[in-house]
Structure 1
Amino acid sequence: MNKNDIITLKIEDMGIDGEGIGKIDGMTFFVKDAVIGDEIEARITKLKKNYGYARVEQILKSSEFRTEPKCELHRRCGGCQIQAMDYAKQLEFKENKVKNNLVRLGGFDADFVDSVTEPIVGMEEPYRYRNKAQFPIGKDKDGNIIAGFYASRTHSIIPVKDCMLGVAENREILDAILSYMRECHIEPYDETTGRGLVRHALIRYGFTTKEIMVCLVVNGRKLPAQNVLVEKLQVISGMTSISININQKNTNVILGEQTEAIWGQSYITDYIHLRDCTNFERTGKAISYHISPQSFYQVNPEQTEKLYSLALEYAGLTGKESVWDLYCGIGTISLFLAGKAGHVYGVEIVPQAIADAKDNAKRNGFSNTEFFVGKAEEVLPEFYAEHKNEKTDMLHPDVIVVDPPRKGCDEKCLETILLMKPERIVYVSCDSATLARDLKVLAEGGYEVKRVRAVDQFAHTTHVECVTLLQRKDI
């Protein structure tokens, strides 16, 4: 076999990135956009010693799990890797992905994993669920200004105004931004030359409040003729906040450190309707959050309520407990914990997020929260070293909740958690591979995994959120 050869494959399995897996003559091939059960002709794109990569040329027989995607760009765009797969099969794929990582990377027994894993939490309608979108701005080959998403594994922009995962309002907003740029001769940023002004358009939408935020990320200190942009955007129903974010670095990081509001508020407000919460029981109101351009806030409101309900349930709070919430963001989980705990201590590296967390706690009437700026792997060890001889509930909490980025918890952070010996640990993860790695460390340190449940926070992609409860073995 050689590169560019056409081969016939039966897709018998799925890889962790959603690619179909088939075998021929002892060689395993990974095929993007193929669905388990497909019979296909594929063109070989890369060959290794015992495996290779290929792309679909023709579907000879469609899988019973293949479905017609709503987005015609799903194969070109890098966002929806498994949109062509039946949604029920997507959920099965994601639940198995979590289980397999716990066995393969965490070293847990397969039967044990089956016994502690609860059914995945899916969506009723797995489209139009994202409350945030970040559109790169550039030019096509004819020099036209475009907005869209990067093609898979590239920085080549595919024009997209109406992503089926995002809200319909995105199209009108992008039309206004591109119209402004054309009229005022505003150049998009060019990664190769470092020239041009507008890099990205960040859009946030409050699903409950219907408030809209638009933030243009710019390679400069100001936005020329910004009044023209404001005039075009402010007439859109729900427009609440228009700002610019300054990012003049040669980097793939989207947002810079400085954001300046040019119209309206510097934030939008939204609610999470978690009914198993003292605040709701007491006031009948959901918890409200101020969300700024740089805030971390879960992108799927419907599933976030389910995710945080699980985290709260797993924490097992009775009203007296002391809780640490590591990687707390703007205090989303912290405030739900605070409604049923004695005291909650949150840690987050982004100063603006901590400012938002304090503001959110105050506005919602919580006086039993305290927030610290810094890396969890630095704040927690430093605090423990300084107070390790004291008898304080901060030093020996009842529960520690962690919700780290995809890279998982830092080794130093895990070491300190084990030293603090909480009765329970609730681990909220967006990457089951690093979750499995960290659970192995915690299990070896004296904790037992009691419950695991995946939540489909990112329908039509291969990503999956997961909540895990660990309990100290000597309890």
Structure 2
Amino acid sequence: MDCHHFAAGRCRSCNWLEQPVADQVTAKERGVRELLAPWPELSWLEPVRSREAGFRNKAKLVVSGSIEAPVLGILDGAGHGVDLSDCPLYPAALAAAFAPLTEFITRAALAPYDLMARRGELKYLLVTVSPTGELMVRWVLRSTEPLARIKKHLPWLQAQLPQLRVASLNIQPEHKAILEGEREILLTEVETLPMELDGVRLQLRPQSFFQTNTEIAAALYRQARSWVDDLAPSSAWDLYCGVGGFALHCAAPGRVMHGVEISAEAVQSAITTATELGSVATFEAGDATAWALAQPAAPELVVVNPPRRGIGPELAAWLETSVADAVLYSSCNAVTLARDLAAMPSLRPVKAVLLDMFPHTAHYEVLTLLRRG
């Protein structure tokens, strides 16, 4: 992938860009295999490769510059704005929204936040695009001071971007480089952005996490569903379930599937999707480890999709002594994956696949199936 920002040294986020994509995937899989070498019986599927460009479904843009000339992108080492609105990672449907959104900042007089001077209002612009081209736009602000102006000019933006489905403000008052705050103010009647993957129409709310590579996320869920259907468990949990991607793809008649996630916003997204689909999957908000340890017994299958820190010693120890026949572990960090696997010696990894969720970087997703015995 050619990128003039990388070539000019303005942005180095894609720090593996100079390597051919095939070599990137080979290096990622080699590194993961080395970490999982203590389990030589592990069978590896062919890696799942991503498109080189245009694969990101979400833009997280620092807003700098001035009201009259906003800059959407990142900050350089000196704190100056770098315009990344033409970053080749963004698909056309996402990139086309940046010009109207930039003009909207000027129309609504949203002063970009200056971190060093501690003045201004608008910190970030977060834009998500669905597979059908619909948009969710979130303005991260220090306060609600610009709310009236945003509401006044929102009809203009909606006329410019008829694909705008969800719009909201996120209030983050701290003088820190924190992406977003807890308070969200919806500006549209519609509250969710549909993200359809293989017939499962996930409903994404503003503060819900979703993988940034839609095509690879779909491949991840397809592989999980295939392995789960082969196992045919009658009961399963989806821990760290997010918006319910694994649970909703793997749910089936006669299979009790329950998801647990710390984010109440994500759980509401999952419940909305399950209701629309008529799915048998159920969801609740809670800490995955605390919730699991409080249950009288484990189901036949447990799906875990933890953050980079992994599931940790408590949950690993509980799974090790539980009656669960299988664990499906989705990991973005094979270091903590290997640590967690070592803490569950009775659950042997039998199948794995690497998915290139984040091309041009060292990051990936790896899905591993563990069986007891």
Q: Is the Cα contact below 8 Å between 1:162 and 1:168 reproduced in 2?
A: no
TM-superposition CA deviations, 1:190-220 (whole Å, max 9, x none)? 223432111111111111x321111111110
Q: Where do residues 19-58 of structure 1 align in structure 2 (5 Å cutoff)? A: none
**Which protein is bigger by CA-based radius of gyration?**
1
In the alignment, what sits opposite 1:116?
A: 43
Whole-Å separation in 2 of the counterparts to 1:447 and 1:319: 18
Query: Quick one: structure 1 residues 234 and 349, their matched pair in 2 at CA, closer, same or farther if it must change by over 3 Å?
Result: farther
- Separation in structure 1 between the aligned mates of residue 287 and residue 144 of structure 2, nearest angstrom: 29
One-letter identity of the residue aligned with 1:204: T
**In the alignment, what sits opposite 1:215?**
138
Question: 22, 37, 58: which is aligned to 1:132?
Answer: 58
Which residue identity is paired with 2:216? Q
Aligned twin of 1:459:
359
Alignment partners' CA distance in 2, 1:409 and 1:224: 44
Amino acid at match of 2:45: E
Contact 1:429/1:435 (CA < 8 Å) preserved in 2? yes
Q: Which residue is equivalent to 2:343?
A: 441
1: CA distance between counterparts of 2:349 and 2:166? 44
2:112 is matched with: 188
**What whole-Å deviation, never above 9, does each CA across 1:67-122 have from its counterpart, x for those lacking one?**
xx32111243242111222111111111112112324xxxx16xx17x52222111
Residue 101 of structure 2 aligns to a residue whose secondary structure is: helix
Aligned counterpart in structure 2 of residue 197 of structure 1, from 121, 143, 146: 121
Alpha-carbon offset, residue 264 of structure 1: 4.6
Distance change (3 Å), C-alpha of 1:455 and 1:338: same
Alignment-derived partner of residue 292 in structure 1: 205
Q: TM-score, normalised by structure 1?
A: 0.73
Matched residue type, 2:44? T
Structure 1 residues 91 and 320, CA, compared in 2 at 3 Å: closer, same or farther?
closer
**Could you tell me whether the CA contact under 8 Å between 1:131 and 1:299 is conserved in 2?**
yes
Distance, in Å, in 2 between the alignment partners of 1:373 and 1:438 is 24
Kindly state the Cα deviation for residue 177 of structure 1 after the two structures are TM-superposed: 2.8
Query: Residue 253 in 1 paired to residue 153 in 2?
Result: no
Letter of the structure 2 residue corresponding to residue 99 of structure 1: R
Which residue is equivalent to 1:93? 27
C-alpha distance in 2 between matches for 1:341 and 1:464:
33
Q: What is the distance in 2 between the residues matched to 1:410 and 1:154?
A: 38
Give the deviation of 1:468 after TM superposition: 0.5
- Give distance in 2, aligned partners of 1:72 and 1:469: 41
Give the Å deviation of 1:155.
6.4
What whole-Å deviation, never above 9, does each CA across 1:41-65 have from its counterpart, x for those lacking one? Answer: xxxxxxxxxxxxxxxxxxxxxxxxx
Contact kept, 8 Å, 1:427 with 1:468, in 2: the verdict is yes
How far is 1:373 from its partner?
Answer: 0.9
Identical residues among aligned pairs (%): 26
Contact 2:93 2:133 in 1 (8 A): no
- Count of aligned residue pairs for this structure pair: 369
Distance 1:216 1:133 in 2: 12
- Counterpart of 2:237 in structure 1 is 324
Indicate how the Cα distance of structure 1 residues 414 and 340 shifts in structure 2: closer, same or farther if over 3 A, else same.
farther
* Residue of structure 2 in register with 1:72 after alignment: 4
Structure 2 CA distance for aligned equivalents of residues 297 and 404 of structure 1: 13
1:198–1:216 contact (8 Å) kept in structure 2? yes
Q: Cα distance, 1:341 vs. partner?
A: 5.7
What secondary structure sits across from 1:448 in the alignment?
A: strand
Structure with the larger RCO, 1 or 2 (CA within 8 Å, 6+ apart): 2
Contact 1:315 1:424 in 2 (8 A): no
Runs in 1 of length 4+ with deviation above 6 angstroms? Answer: none
How well do the aligned residues superpose, as a CA RMSD in angstroms? Answer: 2.3
| Native 8 Å contact 1:161 1:170 kept in 2 | no
Q: Does 2:163 align with 1:238?
A: yes
Q: Which residue of structure 2 lines up, in the alignment, with residue 308 of structure 1?
A: 221
3-state DSSP of counterpart to 1:73: helix
Equivalent position to 2:326, from 393, 399, 424 = 424
Contact 2:233–2:301 (8 Å) recurs in 1: no
**Equivalents in 2 of 1:349, 1:330: separation in Å?**
11
Distance (Å, rounded) in 2 between the aligned partners of 1:399 and 1:364: 22
Indicate whether 1:376 and 2:288 are aligned: yes
State the AA in 2 paired with 1:189. Answer: Y
Q: How far apart are 1:135 and its partner, in Å?
A: 0.6
- The residue aligned with 1:398 is 300
What SS class does the counterpart of residue 220 from structure 1 fall into?
coil
What TM-score do the two structures reach when normalised by structure 2?
0.91
* 2: CA distance, partners of 1:169 / 1:302: 15
Structure 1 residues 417-448: Cα deviation after superposition (integer angstroms, max 9, x where no partner): 223231011100111222122112122xx121
CA distance in 2, matches of 1:341, 1:150: 52
Give the residue type in structure 1 aligned to 2:196. Y
Note if contact 1:189-1:197 (Cα within 8 Å) is conserved in structure 2: yes
Q: Partner of 1:338 in structure 2?
A: 251
Unaligned runs of 5+ in 1: 1-68, 274-285, 388-394
